[in-house]
Structure 1
Amino acid sequence: MSDTITRYFAAFNAGDTQGMIDCLSDDVAHHVNEGNIRVGKEKFAEFCDHMSRCYREELTDMVVFSTPDGSRAAAEYIVNGTYLETDAGLPEARGQSYRLPAGSFFDLKDGKISRVTTYYNLSDWMAQVSA
């Protein structure tokens, strides 16, 4: 199942939202850092559209782990980004770059991602874009 995760992150780095969606179950539960749980591919796509408007990101130094039965996985990586457009409630965007460690956790069912949870340190990001 880690190849599903590898495809998901390759699509992310390519800016290929549809490629990411193709890795998801129809009822995917998307747990975002500092936000509400979004259920379903449509909500995931809306989130990706918003993120693409406000941020340009590439993930590097990726390490993927998975359980022997393939039902769960995790990834640790570095987010290398540019803050493109001011996101509501956050500092003003001026093209600031940032670099921060992050991680994602996954449930997998029938070869698809049924849950994705992402964590990063929001305080670290805020300090970087506010400097």
Structure 2
Amino acid sequence: MSRAVVEAYFAAINADAFAELVGVFAEDVEIHTVGAEPVVGREAALAHFPEVLANYAEHSDRVTRWIETRDAIVTEIDFAGKLMDGRPVVFPALDVFDLRDGRIARVTTWYDTRDVRRQVAP
């Protein structure tokens, strides 16, 4: 059950089907991304992803490793994307999902912000 909700999260993100995230997030979900202010609440989270991914013509989070406990899942990810101008963006990331009652209550994401800024800079 726990892994299925995280798999649904990645499927929705990768398909730009952000409305489907309503089914995986707890009402009071928190999203913490290195270098950014926290996003708190389901509605804010649903608005967050289209904004973050708006400059990508293509993007994909491919999970390369799963570490699972009863209430948390850690995923190692290879992100691959293409900006609207055609430039590629690739980087590894680590996501930690805290789960509650079969939903995602908190997502914490780490990646090399300096490298990503360099890749997306105009």
TM-score, length of structure 1 as denominator length: 0.82
2:114 alignment counterpart? 123
- Alignment equivalent of 1:59, drawn from 41, 58, 61: 61
1:16 alignment counterpart? 17
- Consecutive unaligned residues of structure 1, counting only runs of 5 or more, are 85-93
Task: Give 1:3 shift.
Answer: 1.3
Q: Distance in 2 between matches of 1:116 and 1:99?
A: 20
1:98 aligns with 2:100: no
Task: Give 1:103 shift.
Answer: 1.1
CA contact (8 A) 1:25 1:113 kept: yes
Task: Give 1:36 shift.
Answer: 0.7
Moved over 4 A (4+): none
Q: C-alpha deviations, 1:36-63, integer Å up to 9, x for none?
A: 1111011112211212322231012432
2:28 alignment counterpart? 27
1:108 aligns with 2:99: yes
Q: Distance in 2 between matches of 1:129 and 1:77?
A: 19
Specify the SS of the correspondent of 1:25. strand
- Consecutive unaligned residues of structure 2, counting only runs of 5 or more, are none
Q: Distance in 1 between matches of 2:83 and 2:49?
A: 15
Specify the SS of the correspondent of 1:36. coil
Specify the SS of the correspondent of 1:44. helix
Specify the SS of the correspondent of 1:117. strand
Q: How many aligned positions are there?
A: 120
Q: Distance in 1 between matches of 2:66 and 2:88?
A: 25
Q: C-alpha deviations, 1:9-35, integer Å up to 9, x for none?
A: 111111111222310000001112211
**Identity of counterpart residues, as a percentage?**
28
2:38 alignment counterpart? 37
**Residues 66-105 of structure 1 correspond to what in structure 2 (within 5 A)?**
66-67=68-69, 70-84=70-84, 94-105=85-96
